[in-house]
Amino acid sequence: MMAAGAVLTVVIIGGTALIQHATTVPLAAETTQISSPWIPQTVKHWNPLIGEMAKRYNVDPTAIAILMTMESGGYAKAASEAGAVGLMQITPPTAGDIAKKYLKKPVQKYNLLDPRTNIEFGAAYMAHLRDEFGDSSQGPSWDYTMELVAAAYNGGPGTAGKFYDGQGMTDTQPVVYSRDALNMWRERKAQDSPTFDRWQERGGSILLDLAKSKQ
């Protein structure tokens, strides 16, 4: 059985057909630069680190930037009532799993308020969720992959699993979050993003203002 994301290529050499396995990775990093013109400057401020981690974990940098926008607005010391901290809003329990299981080099000690660490943890977790829920049939737009990754990032893998299985999501927050992520991803090449504008109107501008005041 072929692995998810695998594609067969048939090459004819000397009359013999050779089957080569190529891998199509959903949401793969084709560049190290954030490509969307409307991504806020408070998030683009972190482009060097986003690009570095996008390359390391093979995750599209604009996908990382979209989640960072909604999570913290680019404010490195953001903290939520649920205990999530930093640019990518990582909770301590999730950080423990990432540190042991999903980083290229597992670590025991880390500081989630360090921007490099936080972005790496977020990118590594996104890569894990992408591998869990993405497959080549979702390409080439990767819209559905982005929606699933966002649902899992916000509501947990169980939430995305139910969505993937056709059971839907009962909690409003991951529904809104994943839909915003999906639409921002669809609008990533446009000059403006109506979804991003609506997100700002719903309170996102407060995050952006805070991030701007601290950079």
DSSP notation for 87-153: TTTB-HHHHHHIIIIISSS--S---TTSHHHHHHHHHHHHHHHHHHH--GGGTTT-HHHHHHHHHHH
Q: Distance between CA atoms of 47 and 189, rounded to whole angstroms?
A: 17
What is the pLDDT at residue 23?
Answer: 59
Which CATH number does the domain 26-214 belong to among 1.10.3720.10, 3.40.50.1110, 3.40.50.970, 1.10.530.10?
Answer: 1.10.530.10
User: For 170-209, how does the pLDDT look when each residue is reduced to its tens digit (9 = 90+)?
Assistant: 778 989 999 999 999 999 999 999 999 999 999 999 999 9
The tokens 């490509």 sit on which residue? 35
Q: Are 70 and 177 in contact (CB under 8 A)?
A: yes
Mean pLDDT of the region 16-32: 69
Q: Distance between CA atoms of 64 and 59, rounded to whole angstroms?
A: 7
Helices (H) and strands (E) counted in the chain, each on its own, are: 10, 2
User: For 83-93, how does the pLDDT look when each residue is reduced to its tens digit (9 = 90+)?
Assistant: 999 999 999 99
User: For 123-165, how does the pLDDT look when each residue is reduced to its tens digit (9 = 90+)?
Assistant: 999 999 999 999 999 999 999 999 999 999 999 998 888 887 8
| Structure-block tokens of residue 140 | 């080439």
Q: Distance between CA atoms of 42 and 214, rounded to whole angstroms?
A: 9
Q: Domain residues of the chain, as ranges?
A: 26-214
Task: Give me the phi and psi of 16, to 5 degrees please.
Answer: -105, 130
What sign has the CA pseudo-torsion 87, 193, 135, 176? positive
